[in-house]
A and B are shown apart, each in its own frame.
Chain A
Amino acid sequence: MKEREPVKRGYSYKAQRRAYLFTTYFLLLVGAIVMLLPFLWMISTSFKPLSQTLTMPPKLIPSIFRWQNYVEAWNTAPFGKYFFNSFFIAIVETICEVIATIFAAYAFAKMDFFGKNVIFVAFLGTMMIPGEMLLVPNYITLTSFHWIDTYYALIVPFIVSVFGIFLLRQFFLSIPDELWDAARIDGSGRLGFLWRIIVPISRPGITAVALFKFIGSWNAFMWVLIVTNTPTMRTVPVGLSYFRTAAGTYFNQLMAAATMGMLPILILFFFAQKQFIQGIARSGIK
């Protein structure tokens, strides 16, 4: 027995390591299941006939797949219009924001001008203002513009984001100034330099800014709720919140609608996961 002790200790280290790994995987797996269960349950319910949503114990996999739920949900509310609005607003907003942000970030990163620091600090200061504080005064402004219940109200106030300007400025700062000197010798103006050299180099940063904007625009809620009156102006989230009241306890239809509402962003996320996660991770590191 005594002779085997060193061997045993060697094993015990390995065993300890294995136990540690096992615990790690176990905990992570349980966590992942808890996180994903709502999604699975949503998709599962979205295919069930109504009778199967009212059974105990609940079944994870429906015995028949009822695609009809999606059709019925789609037809109960003007979802086609909701989706058009959401896509239209998100796309226009993103394009405008990217252009405005590139110019502003370039000015801050690569140009010397009068009042630069003051303006920069003023921009920085807006990040301290909660967007909720601007809801009432902006509502009043847009009422005087007669913009309530129009696309303008849903797009124009959001085409500049200070966060995006800072993110891109960081990217532009890392580009060496020698490139600009070289470009100038070759007879390039600032505009040409910006579009032909800076923008292509900074594509990851621009993609991140665009992604944040698109997702933010798609998920926007309270503002849309406040400035739209007619159902045809609503976006997907606001449309869903009305549908939730209208559909009551038809949980199969509710879950079909919820799935449809989540899908575009989930698809986008799976394609651009890396940029998105890196963008968030970078925001935390100075």
Chain B
Amino acid sequence: MKRSFAIGMRRYRRGRFWRDTAQAYLYLLPAFVILGTFTFYPFINSFFVSFHSWLSFAPVKPFVGFANYVKIFQDDLFWLSLWHTVYYVLASVIPTMALALFIAVLLNSKIRGRSFFRTAFFLPYITNTVAAAMVFLWIFNRDYGLLNYFLHHLLGLNLIDWFNNPHYTMPVVILMGIWKFIGFDIVLFLAGLQNIDQQYYEAAEVDGATGWYRFRHITLPLLSPTTFFVFIISLIGAFKIFQQVYVLWPGGAGGPLNSAMTLMVYFYHVGFGGAWHLGQAAAVANILFVLIFIITMIQMQLSKRWVFYQ
């Protein structure tokens, strides 16, 4: 009696498991359909397309092997855009993070109006990039811009033609990047700082540790998971920079002498900006994917060494 009850129970449970499975798959159906069609399938298809000469309107799309990749690697513009992207990544992500950490530490001390300051720093992050780029276009305007008024008319520095002088195009993009993304980093750092157990600071105080020492030996190590997270997210985001450049130099021109051509602008230029060479564009996007993938893997490995979990 007891045994058959147990078997019956097991059967009942197994039956419920499969009924739950059916129900769960029903619940996941929209996710399966959408992710399958617009994420998993295109992920595979991206490689497939990149091995074909895929001119958008051509009826025949012949297989060409690695020809698209070879063509890209032989293109000086690709290397230039890759260099600009790396330059942007390094010159924007690291200063943004350092400044954000500094401001987050200031905000974390007992001050009034913290939420006002946090909002002020965060506002650029949610504003529309196109609209923001238009504002930067105006502020950095050579003749009537606010910045040149300060630099040239008040401080007496040389008049800088920010958008037409190839030396200054990347700095504009970088400055805008810092302005736009610092708030995001601050919010994350602030959350990380508030997550640190106050006990550590109290203990350090007993030991007579103050100021820089506390920051260096308590805050930084205990904040390292947040720092690591912010670093990866910012790095990946920075690699994809497109909108600012597209709006500042219209039509995806990438600035004078391609001086602000980034990887995604190059991608747009190859794929949609007139040439419509989708096979090559897919190859560029795949290179971006591999780059981001490698960087993430390296960081994962490194993080084991320098991230300290509480």
Residues of A whose CB lies within 8 Å of any CB of B are: 21, 24-25, 27-28, 31-32, 34-39, 41-42, 45, 53-58, 99-100, 103-104, 106-107, 111-114, 116, 119, 122-123, 126, 128-141, 143, 156-160, 162, 165, 190, 215, 218-219, 221-222, 225-226, 236-238, 240-241, 244-245, 251, 254-255, 257-259, 261-262, 265-266, 269, 273, 276-277, 280-286
Besides the known contacts A222-B243, A280-B184, 7 further A-B residue pairs in the complex with CB atoms under 8 A apart: A111-B20, A128-B292, A140-B49, A157-B37, A160-B34, A265-B126, A284-B191
Contact call A132/B240, Cβ cutoff below 8 A:
yes
A38 CB contacts on chain B under 8 angstroms: 124, 132, 135-136, 139, 179
B139 CB contacts on chain A under 8 angstroms: 38, 41
Q: Is B303 an interface residue (CB 8 A)?
A: no
Contact call B288/A57, Cβ cutoff below 8 A:
no
- List the one stretch of B4-12, B69-77, B87-95, B115-123 in contact with chain A: B115-123
Contact call B34/A190, Cβ cutoff below 8 A:
no
Interface residue tally of chain B, by bracket?
Answer: 35 or more
Which A residue sits closest to B134, measured CB to CB?
A258
Question: Given known contacts A57-B149, A104-B31, is B135 in contact with A128 (CB within 8 Å)?
Answer: no
Bound-state CA distance A136–B49 (Å) is 9
Give chain B nearest CB distance to A227 CB in angstroms.
10
Q: Please provide the chain B residues from 240 to 266 with a CB less than 8 Å away from any CB of chain A in the complex.
A: 240, 242-243, 246-247, 250-251, 264
- Which one of A35, A136, A219 lies within 8 Å of B278 (CB-CB)? A136
B24 CB contacts on chain A under 8 angstroms: 107, 111, 113, 116
B264 CB contacts on chain A under 8 angstroms: 132, 222
Bound-state CA distance A215–B182 (Å) is 18
Contact call B128/A261, Cβ cutoff below 8 A:
yes
Contact call A281/B188, Cβ cutoff below 8 A:
yes
Chain B 93-118: CB-based contact to A (< 8 A → 1; otherwise 0): 00000000001001101010000111
Q: Is B41 an interface residue (CB 8 A)?
A: yes
Contact call B121/A35, Cβ cutoff below 8 A:
yes
> What are 10 sample pairs from A and B whose C-beta atoms fall under 8 A apart?
A45-B138, A111-B27, A130-B288, A132-B267, A135-B271, A225-B246, A237-B128, A237-B130, A265-B127, A266-B127
Contact call A219/B267, Cβ cutoff below 8 A:
no
Which B residue sits closest to A276, measured CB to CB?
B126
Q: Is B282 an interface residue (CB 8 A)?
A: yes
Q: Is B296 an interface residue (CB 8 A)?
A: yes
Q: Is B204 an interface residue (CB 8 A)?
A: no
Question: Given known contacts A35-B123, A190-B23, A226-B272, is B288 in contact with A132 (CB within 8 Å)?
Answer: yes
Chain B 184-214: CB-based contact to A (< 8 A → 1; otherwise 0): 1001101110010000000000000000000
Give chain A nearest CB distance to B205 CB in angstroms.
14
Q: Is B35 an interface residue (CB 8 A)?
A: yes
Give chain B nearest CB distance to A92 CB in angstroms.
14
Question: Given known contacts A130-B236, A284-B191, is B111 in contact with A25 (CB within 8 Å)?
Answer: yes
Q: Is the interface of A mostly helix, strand, loop or mixed?
A: helix
Q: Is the interface of B mostly helix, strand, loop or mixed?
A: helix
Question: Given known contacts A58-B149, A159-B34, is B43 in contact with A129 (CB within 8 Å)?
Answer: yes
A130 CB contacts on chain B under 8 angstroms: 236, 239-240, 285, 288-289, 292
Which A residue sits closest to B107, measured CB to CB?
A28
Contact call B134/A236, Cβ cutoff below 8 A:
no
Bound-state CA distance A199–B134 (Å) is 41
Q: Is B219 an interface residue (CB 8 A)?
A: no
Q: Please provide the chain B residues from 27 to 56 with a CB less than 8 Å away from any CB of chain A in the complex.
A: 27-28, 30-31, 34-35, 37-43, 45-46, 49, 54, 56
Q: Is B229 an interface residue (CB 8 A)?
A: yes
B45 CB contacts on chain A under 8 angstroms: 137, 140-141
B144 CB contacts on chain A under 8 angstroms: 53-56, 58, 251
B187 CB contacts on chain A under 8 angstroms: 277, 280-281
Q: Is B167 an interface residue (CB 8 A)?
A: no
- Which one of B28, B138, B182 lies within 8 Å of A42 (CB-CB)? B138
